[in-house]
Structure 1
Amino acid sequence: MSGSLIARKEFGDALRTRTLRLVSAVFALLVVGDAYLYTLQSYHTGSTADVVLHFVPAARALVPLVGLAVGYRAVVGERASGSIKILLGLPHSRCDVVRGKLLGRCVVVALPLLASFALAAALVATQYGGFALVPFAGFVLLTLLLGIAFVALGVGVSAATATPRRAAAAAVGAFALVELFWGALVNLVGYVVTGSASMTYPLPAWAYFVQQLSPTGAYEGLVRALVSRGTVQLAGGGPAPAYLSPWVALLVVLAWAAVPLAVGAWRFRNADL
């Protein structure tokens, strides 16, 4: 109950500070704008798979960025202002604070994301008769899961750090790791394993697995499975091993949410405020 009270406070603060409106504007402009551009391109078929795969690159870049931006000041901002002592002076434990901050910030991301993709789906559906809403709704839920994972990562970073500057640096580093440097990591592992500095498709199974150890890579694997293009073409052929299944990819996304949040909550619980 205490965590839900803090979550409601977080949502109210987001309304007062225009955070919710800013996130809504970002999602609306980019997601709905991307849907409009999709309808202008004559080579698109309007099938569910075509629509989903069109949205994946934008969702992969935008959703993690928004999730981290919303989450990284959740706890450390209160510590910097001194208001955390007032909050903890009420009948709230430190775990309640982390849990409430997570719930409130997830709502701040979830509502604009769902509304923007609903508008985008309506725009596309009016133009293409072959567009199916149910599989697209599954894609939106997977995108929401990705957003929640990065909010949890941001809140975990916020709880684990002592200053907003350190939290911002850690959030930027996390985004750079999963979005910019993970491909280089795959190539580095490939060099160690094969002796070659370049990886060409189709990749061996282990390379796909390393790709899917990032939250965005796991998200793409889940989306491929959703739109019936989940069959991975392996170097040398053959069926995909069990560790490339959607269930493993789902566990990877959940781990990226749970582990940083647990570490952050542990550090915050033991921090000297």
Structure 2
Amino acid sequence: MSIATVARKDFEDAVRSKMLWSLAGLLVGLIVLVYGAIWYFEGDLPSGDLAAILALPLQIIIPLAALIVGYMSIVGERRSGSIKILLSLPPTREDVVAGKLLGRSGVVGVAILAAFVVAILLTGLLFGEVPVGGLAGLAAAHLLLGFAFVGIAVGFSAAVASRGRAMAGVVSTYLVFLGFWDVLVGGIYRIVTGSFPASPISPESPIEPWALALKRLNPMEAYSVVASGLIDQQVPTLTLQFPIGVNVFGDAPLEDFVVGEVPFYLSEWFSAVVLLAWIIVPVFLGYLRFRTADLG
């Protein structure tokens, strides 16, 4: 019950501080801009392609917005001293961390759903036919993506004692996922196999399946796999690509890109599990630091 109380208070505080409205306004504005550009320049674009196009900017903005929403969730309470008042009431430190995760996830979730309601309305208004299934699947994928980055942000917020460290943690993490994850995976591949993977990976130069699994541990990569499966269209990952990275292009069957049979951990459902893990694991690790932290 204490977890629900903390979550409700955190969500209400976000509404009062206009955090929710700002995030919703950002996502709605982005969708209006994208749809307006598509309608102006393309005009008769098939509505079924809209979901795949919409996925491109949202997969960059939503993680960044979720990190901003979550990184001050607990460390902000510590800086203001209100954490002492909160913990003098029934909620425990565990309740605070779990409640903050739920509250901030609620903020991100409501903003994403509001944006997709606008997307459905604009699709019907500008293009006639509404791909409800595709937009609903894309919304589900973005909810998982947003919640994953909220988990990362809340984990950092629980683990550190200053705003600067929390900000440095989430910014560094975002940059690694966005620009350097493939380099890390390529380096591991070089250490294990003695050579860098071919770039790009192709049926003529397949890769070890474990390397592709490491690539998909990046939540942005996992999101791409989940989103592609839910809307039945290829959703490319907007991350930086390097010649020494694990870069897979094209929509050929996965069997053509990996050595041997495709293991279960390269299936679409396992990428959803990866996103769920990013929601839970960082928060748990942050809690381990927070439960023994000196709040004095």
Q: Give me the TM-score of the superposition, normalised by structure 1.
A: 0.91
Query: Quick one: which of 227, 231, 236 aligns to 1:227?
Result: 231
Q: CA deviation at 1:95?
A: 0.8
The letter of the residue matching 1:214 is N
For 2:78 and 2:219, how far apart are their aligned partners in 1? 29
Relative to 1, partners in 2 of residues 1:46 and 1:189: Cα closer, same or farther, differing over 3 Å?
farther
Relative to 1, partners in 2 of residues 1:237 and 1:173: Cα closer, same or farther, differing over 3 Å?
closer
The letter of the residue matching 1:157 is F
Q: CA deviation at 1:138?
A: 1.5
Relative to 1, partners in 2 of residues 1:9 and 1:201: Cα closer, same or farther, differing over 3 Å?
same
- Higher mean alpha-carbon deviation, 151-160 vs 227-236, is at 227-236
Q: CA deviation at 1:194?
A: 5.9
Matched residue, 1:158: 157
Question: Which stretches of structure 1, 4 residues or more, deviate above 6 A after TM superposition?
Answer: 236-239
Q: CA deviation at 1:29?
A: 1.3
- Higher mean alpha-carbon deviation, 248-257 vs 227-236, is at 227-236
Unaligned runs of 5+ in 1: none
Query: Quick one: which of 269, 274, 282 aligns to 1:260?
Result: 282
Matched residue, 1:173: 172
- The alignment partner of 2:127 has SS state of coil
Matched residue, 1:215: 219
Kept in 1, the 8 Å contact 2:55–2:138? The answer is no
Relative to 1, partners in 2 of residues 1:240 and 1:144: Cα closer, same or farther, differing over 3 Å?
same
Q: CA RMSD in A?
A: 2.3
- The alignment partner of 2:126 has SS state of coil
Kept in 1, the 8 Å contact 2:35–2:122? The answer is yes
For 1:237 and 1:225, how far apart are their aligned partners in 2? 22
Relative to 1, partners in 2 of residues 1:127 and 1:2: Cα closer, same or farther, differing over 3 Å?
same
Matched residue, 1:135: 134
Matched residue, 1:19: 19
Kept in 2, the 8 Å contact 1:76–1:159? The answer is yes
The letter of the residue matching 1:244 is L
The answer to whether residue 275 in structure 2 is matched with residue 249 in structure 1 is no
Matched residue, 1:4: 4
- The alignment partner of 1:270 has SS state of coil
1:49-64 equivalent positions in 2, closer than 5 A = 50-64=49-63
Q: Give me the TM-score of the superposition, normalised by structure 2.
A: 0.84
Give the % identical residues. 37
Kept in 2, the 8 Å contact 1:27–1:116? The answer is yes
Unaligned runs of 5+ in 2: 235-252
For 2:260 and 2:120, how far apart are their aligned partners in 1? 36
- Higher mean alpha-carbon deviation, 19-28 vs 211-220, is at 19-28
The letter of the residue matching 1:3 is I
- Higher mean alpha-carbon deviation, 15-24 vs 252-261, is at 15-24
For 1:47 and 1:92, how far apart are their aligned partners in 2? 48
- The alignment partner of 1:156 has SS state of helix
Relative to 1, partners in 2 of residues 1:244 and 1:99: Cα closer, same or farther, differing over 3 Å?
same
